[in-house]
Amino acid sequence: MAQSYKSLKEDFVSNLSGGGIWEINHVTAVAPAAVFLWSTLQSRQDLFSNAGSLPVLTDCLLNVGAILAATTIYSSSPGVLNLLLLLPATALYLSPSTSRTRQKRPAHPAPINEQHNEGKEQNELGPLPERPFITHYRGSMMVVTCIAILAVDFKVFPRRFAKVETWGTSLMDMGVGSFVFSAGLVSARPVLKARAAGTRSSVGDSMKAALRHSLPLLALGLIRLYSVKGMDYAEHVSEYGVHWNFFFTLALLPPFVAFVHFLPTRLISIDTIALLLSCTFQAVLDSTSVTPYILTAPRQNLLSQNREGLVSIWGYLSMFLVGQAVGLDILPRSRSRISRSIFGLQSSRSLLTRLLTWSLWYSVLLFLVISYTTLGLQVSRRLANLPYVLWVSAFNCAQLALFCAVETVAFPGLYSITDARTENQRCKRVTSQVLAAFNRNGLALFLLANLLTGLVNLSTDTLQASEGRAMATLCAYAITLSVVAVILHRKNISIKM
């Protein structure tokens, strides 16, 4: 890559100030709106129960195409796109159902995702039911993330959606945090299984398991580092540092999380630990020279060269723990075995009400810390500071609530089934195959998306590409990812990393 072109590429994604939180909410609302249309088509027309290509293409058009459109050609008018999705969905919902009343045999034998019960062979309901709305939430988040990492290199993707330099909010900043939050959400499953079985691993065993999760991520980080440096690829140094990348951040999380679980979590809840950790880190940022060091210090040694990645781990750890706390609250079938949540408060309220409570709680905290009448802090993904943690937490809880609301409206009584086999069949029927596929092999698809992004950037002048060429490239890229995801899903292949 020529030096001048590399500089142009770096300048294209540098020194950006982002956009408003409400615009990000409007753009990302397209995902639950698309799932609502998918759900009404399924509940009223039974459109996606067949094994043909048309249902899969329609699924992809709705749940991948809509997100691609929202971040590119509809980026200036996401409300119009939301209406285009919600109006037919509402009309279908209010129309009489034409789907067959008998339960169809699921078209694809592959399990939904990691949420699948290990004890499905038995007909007794397990303690951890499948939650299709979580599959939709995680799958949509993965689609947004994969689309954005290539789209950001084209002018059709607004600069206000790209990662900010230091202070501010953007769609891609939210994508990074949401990736970590959603990982924490599903990490609650093994914790709940261990509690249900009455087992507790030793410190040594837990750390060994954490390292087994970390090593593949560390290897991916090293591969990415070697590729970027070896090909002289354009890079945004202030994002994580000279050598650091997101895979290294993900690799560091499991050992820290394992350590947290040996704290007295029956006396202090996981979300309380997360909030205390983030508040302590914010106090350090405000009362010491850490913030000036991160933002302005010369990069003279290995530590200073990678200071953003090393310091921000505390914020990402907090997000992961908040996600896990939410998972501990909403994943179990019965809440009688759950540890305390939201500062120890227990409740028998519905899933939707509990998710709205989580969202309201973190939204209020976010307002308090960013309001000029109180603390007046600014959101910073680069620092992963307290406002960033609260924003990511509030947003993801709200997204979960939206997907849960769609499921509740479109498929009422889903969790009233009394045997595991019927529940499994029903959950497959009400789950988008494309989103289930993205959810199932999310990290592997994220890696593939990074490889394809590099290939496109090395072979195409993305800065000079017209809107038509950019959209054609992005459509081909999105289709490629979707095809790979669906093939892996249909062949019952889960790539664990």
Give pLDDT, residue 315.
Answer: 97
Give pLDDT, residue 114.
Answer: 46
How many other CB atoms are there within 10 angstroms of residue 56's CB atom?
22
Taking every pair of Cα atoms in the chain, the longest distance, rounded to a whole number of angstroms, is 69
* Strands annotated E in 377-416: none
Given a contact cutoff of 8 angstroms between Cβ atoms, the answer to whether 180 and 253 are in contact is yes
489: amino acid identity, one letter = H
Q: What is the spatial distance between Cα 273 and Cα 275, in angstroms, rounded to a whole number?
A: 6
Give pLDDT, residue 424.
Answer: 86
Compute the chain's Rg from CA coordinates: 22
Identify the sign of the CA torsion 122, 128, 133, 139. negative
Give pLDDT, residue 99.
Answer: 61
The list of the chain residues with pLDDT below 50 reads 1, 101-110, 112-121, 336-348
Tokens 């028998």 label which residue? 348
Q: What is the spatial distance between Cα 431 and Cα 138, in angstroms, rounded to a whole number?
A: 12
| Helix (H) and strand (E) counts in the chain | 22, 0
The SS3 call for residue 139 is helix
Over residues 461-491, the pLDDT tens digits come to 999 999 999 999 999 999 999 999 999 999 9
Return the structure tokens found at 474.
Answer: 């992005």
Give pLDDT, residue 365.
Answer: 96
CA atoms within 13 A on the CB side of 437: 23
Over residues 5-33, the pLDDT tens digits come to 788 888 898 999 999 999 999 999 999 99
Return the structure tokens found at 238.
Answer: 């202030």
Give pLDDT, residue 349.
Answer: 52
- Which DSSP category does 51 fall into? -
Give pLDDT, residue 308.
Answer: 95
Q: What is the spatial distance between Cα 126 and Cα 120, in angstroms, rounded to a whole number?
A: 8
Enter the pTM of the model. Answer: 0.90
Burial class (CB in 10 A: 0-12, 13-18, 19+), 8: middle
367 Cβ contact list (under 8 Å, min separation 6): none
